[in-house]
Amino acid sequence: MNKQENILNIATKRGFFYPSAEYYGSKAGFWTYGHLGKLMKTKFENLWRCIFLGLNDNYYEIEGSSILPKKVFESSGHLKNFNDPLTECEKCHFRFRADQLVEDELKKDVDGLDEKALTKIIRDNKLKCPRCGSNLMDVKWFNMMFELRLGATGEDIGYLSPETAQNPYLSFKRQFMAQREKLPMGLAMVGKAFRNEISPRQGFFRLREFTQAELQIFFDPDEIDKADRWNEIKNYKLRLFLAKDRKQNKLTEIICDDANKKLKLPKLYVYHLARMQKFYLENLEIPKEKFRFRELAENERAFYNKIHFDGEINMETLGGFKEVCGCHYRTDHDLLGHSKGSGEKLEILYDNKRFVPHVLELSFGVDRNLWALLDLFYNEEKERTSLRLPYVVAPIETAVFPLVNKDKLPEKAEQIYSELRQNHVKVFYDSSGSIGRMYRRMDEIGCLYMVTIDHQTLKDNTVTVRNRNDMKQIRVKTKDLLETLRKLFKKEIEFKKAGKLI
Amino acid sequence: MNKQENILNIATKRGFFYPSAEYYGSKAGFWTYGHLGKLMKTKFENLWRCIFLGLNDNYYEIEGSSILPKKVFESSGHLKNFNDPLTECEKCHFRFRADQLVEDELKKDVDGLDEKALTKIIRDNKLKCPRCGSNLMDVKWFNMMFELRLGATGEDIGYLSPETAQNPYLSFKRQFMAQREKLPMGLAMVGKAFRNEISPRQGFFRLREFTQAELQIFFDPDEIDKADRWNEIKNYKLRLFLAKDRKQNKLTEIICDDANKKLKLPKLYVYHLARMQKFYLENLEIPKEKFRFRELAENERAFYNKIHFDGEINMETLGGFKEVCGCHYRTDHDLLGHSKGSGEKLEILYDNKRFVPHVLELSFGVDRNLWALLDLFYNEEKERTSLRLPYVVAPIETAVFPLVNKDKLPEKAEQIYSELRQNHVKVFYDSSGSIGRMYRRMDEIGCLYMVTIDHQTLKDNTVTVRNRNDMKQIRVKTKDLLETLRKLFKKEIEFKKAGKLI
């Protein structure tokens, strides 16, 4: 088995995630988080909130509807533009995503080509239906939103939101008043988005129903070259893969101050880019060489995105750098669009000026970030497989085992387990197998420290603590266990100094 | 304005919730949580998780798909049975929910009547279209699920899940293995559910897109009269509104032991009922006379629910007791249904027996619980309106104000504010108005304690803390503020003893 299969195998078997509705033969692109996956996802989302809502007192989370009326997507442009190119077999009528088909058959990058260009490539290269060999029809656009009918008359049409972003734009007016008319104002949403992909591939990475964590920052365009806490990041080094350097495959490492002065990127933009990179490198402990920001060239980005960098992580399972987040300067495109489409006045009076605020969007795909973490921290050794997840996303942090299932060891172990659990440590208790097997199982789900209660525990009130990463063991006093674990989680002490090495 | 309008007014103005997509004229039944509502909702959901997942080491949360394939709902019975009665005007073709129309026109309870009985009532009473006065058509069933088409061919039909419950049933097999084959096993979901209500009314109480918090407990039916921690609740007094006492409007107060012995309710059921009541009375501080469990009679409950009590709260805004949660003994109905529908074997080998586990469902409507809290804790006095929310759901816990916006008071206030914020207190800072107005504003959103920094603060390092509920004030040392607030939140000290009363 390759690495992707190995990870999927652990994920489905241990309860990270598995296809939804498996009894019925699942539909591609729909997955369910099991108990471990949900713990991990919740930790990721809460960390995200803590970091990004913590940037400014005026950044808050809201929760909008997944179902929104048709007019919203007329104004946003999704009805017209949110399309994938589709081609259909003349004979078997199977439908294919035209760009994928061309890429598969000709090993050629066709990103950004329109339906006529794709049709021409199919004709010029005499591409046929991969299933039955018949001719393919002309490429046309297929809208990727799920349509539904509201109410009993069926006349009202709604769509499932293909991104969380529209809700903050629709809430702008209410929230600006409720948040006492201050800018910048941030409105985040962590929620589901839905896209009717023609044929989702890449397993857990491209989904039809998925979770986004997005922050929309509304600001005064005259203030775009200001950032309150600029000093905290001005010397921080960004890892940029600039569009002009794409061919030479050259990475630019540049401090924020220079990104602002030499690359002419505005401070508000650079500031948030730095915070995003710090989130990956410092909080999620991603090795820096695995991370970069890829700049999108003008013909690659949406016309309303004036500046667009995607955060990318290099994943072995997906064969290279793949997008996990993005930072988009969307100008006044969204609010203007809704203002025109609805007739609602979204201009504000602020700082003695009248204007429509501009938007900076920080966008993260939660599920694909989790996949990236599994890819990066999956580790195979001769005798074991471990997920070396950092504490901030590990679903189970500690496990407690009695060495044998007798001699009052289970009672003592349960007591220690209960105390940890009451103190909100994510802890697992098991007394049903051999210690060796329990260690392997815990390594596989990323549990950081394993506590074993043995006969010595009954004598001197010490326990063995095993470190997932190097399998080293220390002896710690029972009464110090909780505090020791807390320090280990926060990396306030080194493992080998946290107790007596054995 | 009446109380309902007053609450809605605060909710929309202050950022608790407001109709979704307002710029375009909102569709009934779709609401957005603003920044305060989202904080309150998150607190409620996390409290729910803490209480109900805390009941057993083997209760976990999962997260399934909102979109599920058609076959799931064939097996679950929703395609056939999840209907509302619909009647249509012959002339203007407006559609009405037939039971609501009859209830409105005749003030008569028609719960549980079928389409023929409703048609007969319409005919017998010569009911006409309330809009144009024309004749109404025969009543027919209208399926309340939102249908959508998956993939590019449009042949695959899916539905938005009308309840979170199906996902845990669909995950049963995977989770039973991943959770090491133990019973009872609990699978919770806190997530969106979607119902295409014909004409949703009651404002925020009946929604088309809403959040449920549900726990499905899979157990061995031979063990239904056992509960691990029975001793903790056996003398706890339940408030039951039994079906047989409905006419006399008689409430039965009965301890759990007697509910088990005299009313023949199994211990597993009674145990969870007690935990639900404790959640409302102890954690959410709901006055006990406002809460009861209403038993559903055999003709009122779904045929597969062998025991069914709904938790109800008496709400002034909705004119009486309304359902906020339910406890349903669903037998093996769900797993058997999916087993038959899919051919997947869901029988397990456990305790040397082969059987399909039974299910006990704890179901909560999150949005309507939040509405109930606003209803119960809304309070009007001569000179102010306050939301007397308990700490566990208050979106803002503390506010910090400088008495005047000069003399270095704002600097001192900001410093105190930052310290509280860093220590995860939900705190709001404001220096932009008069103290009186700021107090009123904070009372209205349920903020518990307001801290004012004045000239005396600069002299002796004390601050004024004002209590929302009685407007009394104490003087507290700045260095003790965080600890004092923490004790007040946890009710470890009385307000008037927490500092020097002024």
**Distance of residue B92 Cα from the nearest chain A Cα, in angstroms:** 12
For the stretch A399-408, what's the b/e string if a residue is b when 16 or more beta carbons lie within 10 angstroms of its beta carbon?
bbbbbeeeee
Interface test with B, best of A8, A35, A425 (most B CBs within 10 A): A35
Q: Show the tokens assigned to B151.
A: 């993939």
Q: For chain A, what is the radius of gyration of the CA atoms?
A: 26
pLDDT(A375) > 70: yes
Separation CA A167–CA B21 (nearest Å)? 8
pLDDT(B432) > 90: no
Residue A320 amino acid letter: G
Mean pLDDT computed over A113-140: 92
Q: To which H or E segment does residue A123 belong? A: helix A115-124
- Tokens 């025109």 belong to A340
Question: B385 CB contacts (<8 Å, ≥6 apart)?
Answer: B6, B10, B378, B379, B440, B443, B444
Query: By the 8 A CB rule, do A37 and A11 touch?
Result: yes
Of A95, A142, A170, the CB nearest to B23: A170
Residue B58 contacts A where some CB pair is shorter than 8 Å? no
Cβ contact A160–B148 (<8 Å): yes
pLDDT(A83) > 70: yes
Could you read off the pLDDT of A2-46 as tens digits, one per residue?
999 999 999 999 999 999 999 999 888 999 999 999 999 999 999
Mean pLDDT computed over A246-257: 97
Question: B340 CB contacts (<8 Å, ≥6 apart)?
Answer: B75
- How many of the other CB atoms lie within 10 Å of CB of A435? 17
Cβ contact A93–B153 (<8 Å): yes
- pLDDT value of position B37: 98
**Distance of residue B203 Cα from the nearest chain A Cα, in angstroms:** 15
Cβ contact B15–A196 (<8 Å): no
The DSSP string of B328-379 is EEEETHHHHHHHHHH-----EEETTEEEPPEEEEEEEEHHHHHHHHHHHHEE
Q: pLDDT tier at B214 (50, 70, 90 boundaries)?
A: very high
Query: By the 8 A CB rule, do A68 and A78 touch?
Result: no
Of B18, B24, B62, the CB nearest to A34: B62
> Which pTM was predicted?
0.96
Cβ contact B65–A178 (<8 Å): no
Of A23, A27, A178, the CB nearest to B13: A178
Q: pLDDT tier at A300 (50, 70, 90 boundaries)?
A: confident
Mean pLDDT computed over A44-73: 97
Mean pLDDT computed over B352-368: 98
What is Dmax (Cα atoms) for chain A?
82
Could you read off the pLDDT of B451-461 as tens digits, one per residue?
999 999 999 99
Residue A192 contacts B where some CB pair is shorter than 8 Å? yes
Cβ contact A208–B67 (<8 Å): yes
Separation CA B443–CA B389 (nearest Å)? 10
- pLDDT value of position B201: 72
**Distance of residue B496 Cα from the nearest chain A Cα, in angstroms:** 30
Mean pLDDT computed over A47-72: 97
Cβ contact A63–B142 (<8 Å): no
**Distance of residue B8 Cα from the nearest chain A Cα, in angstroms:** 14
Residue A196 contacts B where some CB pair is shorter than 8 Å? yes
A96, closest residue in chain B (CA to CA): B152
Reported ipTM: the value is: 0.95
- How many of the other CB atoms lie within 10 Å of CB of A179? 22
Of B152, B209, B430, the CB nearest to A198: B152
Could you read off the pLDDT of B293-333 as tens digits, one per residue?
999 998 888 888 999 999 999 999 999 999 999 999 999 99
Q: Which B residues, 19 through 38, put their C-beta within 8 Å of a C-beta on chain A? A: 20-24, 27, 30-38
Separation CA A188–CA A180 (nearest Å)? 17
Q: pLDDT tier at B463 (50, 70, 90 boundaries)?
A: very high
Mean pLDDT computed over B349-370: 97
Cβ contact A65–B20 (<8 Å): yes
Separation CA A125–CA A136 (nearest Å)? 12
Please, what is the end-to-end C-alpha distance for chain B in angstroms?
36
Q: To which H or E segment does residue A417 belong? A: helix A409-422
Interface test with B, best of A18, A41, A65 (most B CBs within 10 A): A65
Cβ contact B344–A23 (<8 Å): yes
Residues of B in contact with A150 (CB under 8 A): 27, 196, 208
Q: Torsions phi, psi of A247, nearest 5?
A: -65, -40
Could you read off the pLDDT of A315-335 as tens digits, one per residue?
999 999 999 999 999 999 999
Of B64, B66, B198, the CB nearest to A151: B198
- Looking at per-residue confidence, does B219 or B84 come out higher? B219
Q: To which H or E segment does residue B40 belong? A: helix B35-52
Which regions of A339-461 does DSSP assign to beta strands (E)?
348-350, 353-355, 358-365, 378-380, 385-387, 398-402, 427-429, 449-453
Separation CA A23–CA B170 (nearest Å)? 7
- Tokens 């929302």 belong to B468
Residue B149 contacts A where some CB pair is shorter than 8 Å? yes
Which regions of A416-478 does DSSP assign to beta strands (E)?
427-429, 449-453, 462-467, 473-477
Residue B86 contacts A where some CB pair is shorter than 8 Å? yes
**Which SS3 state, helix, strand or coil, does residue B212 take?**
strand
Q: Show the tokens assigned to A275.
A: 């915070």
**Distance of residue A229 Cα from the nearest chain B Cα, in angstroms:** 15
Q: pLDDT tier at B38 (50, 70, 90 boundaries)?
A: very high
Tell me the domains of chain A and their CATH numbers: 3-82+144-376 (3.30.930.10), 396-501 (3.40.50.800)
Dihedral, A359, A364, A365, A370 alpha carbons, nearest 10:
-170
pLDDT(A396) > 80: yes
**Which SS3 state, helix, strand or coil, does residue B497 take?**
helix
Mean pLDDT computed over A464-474: 97
pLDDT(A190) > 70: yes
Q: Torsions phi, psi of A149, nearest 5?
A: -105, 130
- pLDDT value of position B203: 79
pLDDT(B95) > 90: no
- pLDDT value of position A206: 87
Cβ contact A171–B64 (<8 Å): no
Mean pLDDT computed over A255-261: 98
Q: pLDDT tier at A220 (50, 70, 90 boundaries)?
A: very high
- pLDDT value of position B202: 67
Query: By the 8 A CB rule, do A29 and A207 touch?
Result: yes
Residues of A in contact with B200 (CB under 8 A): none
Cβ contact A156–B68 (<8 Å): no
- pLDDT value of position B259: 98
- Looking at per-residue confidence, does A410 or B100 come out higher? A410
Residue A65 contacts B where some CB pair is shorter than 8 Å? yes
pLDDT(A343) > 70: yes
Mean pLDDT computed over B244-267: 97
pLDDT(B233) > 90: yes
B60, closest residue in chain A (CA to CA): A35
pLDDT(A101) > 70: yes
Residue B160 contacts A where some CB pair is shorter than 8 Å? yes
Mean pLDDT computed over B53-68: 97
- Tokens 């060495």 belong to A403
Phi-psi region of A228 (alpha: psi -120 to 50; beta: other; left: phi over 0): alpha
Percent of chain A predicted with pLDDT > 90: 88
Residue A441 contacts B where some CB pair is shorter than 8 Å? no
- Looking at per-residue confidence, does A68 or A431 come out higher? A68
Q: Across all residues in chain B, what is the average pLDDT?
A: 95
